[in-house]
Structures are given as structure tokens and as C-alpha cells.
């Protein structure tokens, strides 16, 4: 009974010693990896390189339905149509037609202006290089 206990204790101690040795070599590998990347006796050290880049983006649209352009165009078109058409039924038809055409034109003009409205900003972009 004592021989079995002593053998088990001895085997346990040897197992602990082997495990401790494995942990030390893993710690050395982890330290080497933290210092830099090693390839064929060459150590490369990482460093961060940052550059400034100009970025152009489309401005956010505040009036997605282009209501302002449509209303302004309709008002101008209605006034012009009224002036051209004169008085009476012809004048009323000309006013409505002018308002419709002006509204459409105002909507298209605002759309064109929104699509061409951009803003330019500077952005810092970084990446890691090894030397």
C-alpha cells in the first residue's frame, strides 16, 4: 500500500514538472511574439503609419420630396401663365398650365441641385507596417 502511494506521488510530481516546463517554453514564445515577428533570424517591428485622405461625400438631403422646389416653381409658373393667358377662361387655363409646368421644372431643378451638392472632409487612415 505504501509503495503504491509513493509511486503515485512520484508520478504526480514528475507530471507537474513536465507541465511546468511546457508552460515556460510557451511563455518564451509569447514574449518573442510580443516583441516582433521573427522570420529566418530577422525580427520585424510593427509600427503604425497614418495618412490624411480627402473624402468627398454627398450632402444629406433635407427635403427628400423636393417640396420647396415644386412649390416655388408652381408659384412662378402660375404667375407667368396668368400674365401670358390674360383674363377669362384662357387666363385660368394658362395659369393652371403654367403652375403645373413650373412645379415640375422646380422639382427637377431642386433634384439636380441636391444631387450635385457635396461636402469635402479630411479623414485620418492608419495601418500597421513592419520594418
> Where in the chain are the domains?
1-35, 45-130
Reported pTM: 0.51
- Are 55 and 122 contacting, i.e. CB atoms less than 8 angstroms apart? yes
pLDDT band at 91 (very low <50, low <70, confident <90, very high): confident
Of 29-38, 72-81, 108-117, minimum mean pLDDT range? 29-38
Q: Is the pLDDT of residue 74 over 60?
A: yes
- Are 97 and 124 contacting, i.e. CB atoms less than 8 angstroms apart? no
**Element of type H or E holding 61:** none
- Are 100 and 66 contacting, i.e. CB atoms less than 8 angstroms apart? no
Amino acid at each position: 500500500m505504501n509503495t503504491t502511494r509513493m509511486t503515485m506521488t512520484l508520478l504526480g510530481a514528475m507530471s507537474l514538472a513536465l507541465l511546468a516546463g511546457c508552460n515556460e517554453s510557451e511563455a518564451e514564445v509569447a514574449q518573442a511574439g510580443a516583441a516582433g515577428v521573427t522570420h529566418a533570424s530577422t525580427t520585424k517591428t510593427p509600427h503604425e503609419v497614418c495618412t490624411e485622405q480627402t473624402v468627398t461625400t454627398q450632402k444629406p438631403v433635407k427635403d427628400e420630396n423636393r417640396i420647396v422646389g415644386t412649390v416655388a416653381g408652381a408659384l412662378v409658373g402660375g404667375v407667368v401663365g396668368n400674365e401670358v393667358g390674360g383674363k377669362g377662361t384662357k387666363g385660368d387655363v394658362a395659369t393652371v398650365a403654367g403652375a403645373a409646368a413650373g412645379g415640375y421644372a422646380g422639382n427637377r431643378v431642386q433634384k439636380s441641385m441636391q444631387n450635385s451638392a457635396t461636402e469635402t472632409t479630411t479623414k485620418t487612415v492608419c495601418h500597421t507596417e513592419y520594418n
